[in-house]
Amino acid sequence: MSFMTNIFAIAVIAGFTSLMLKKTSPAFSLVLSVCAAAAVMLAIMQPLKIILEFVIDLSDSAGINNDYIKALLKITAITITLKLILAIMRDSNNATLEYGIEIGGRVCIILVALPFIADTINILINLLNAR
């Protein structure tokens, strides 16, 4: 519980401080927000490692191919990171860069998902040929 309390404390303190600084020093407010987001992301790395190991162990015991699980976890990580970066771009009022990063993130997700797409198409082709 203290782990969650620490993360919430960092977020609330940084959020209020950033809000107070936004009118007088918008650049410093943005830097503070980015640093706080980085601190939160670093703080969740250890619990995230435990979750990842659990999911991989669970997939091993269920007989699921680890490549699929790893790809899903990569897609999840890309999505979380992309959401954070897009929020930072939105706060800095940089819509053009935000849009470019969003497209780049979607392309990365599609690249990671290509094996799923190929396997799904192969399964459908095999099912149609079996008739």
pLDDT tens track for 67-98: 888 888 899 989 999 998 898 888 888 888 88
E-strand ranges in 15-100 read none
Q: 10 Å Cβ neighbour count for 129?
A: 7
pLDDT at 1: 54
Q: In angstroms, rounded to a whole number, what is the distance separating the alpha carbons of residues 92 and 84?
A: 13
pLDDT at 88: 86
Q: What is the mean pLDDT of each run of 10 residues along the chain (131 residues)?
A: 79 86 86 87 85 86 83 90 89 87 94 90 89 71
Q: HSE on the CB side for 47, CA within 13 Å? A: 10
pLDDT at 23: 86
Tally the residues of the chain. Answer: 131
In the block, residue with structure tokens 């790395």: 45
pLDDT at 75: 92
Domain boundaries, the chain: 1-43, 44-131
In the block, residue with structure tokens 């800095």: 92
Question: Measured between alpha carbons, how far apart are the two ends of the chain, in Å?
Answer: 56
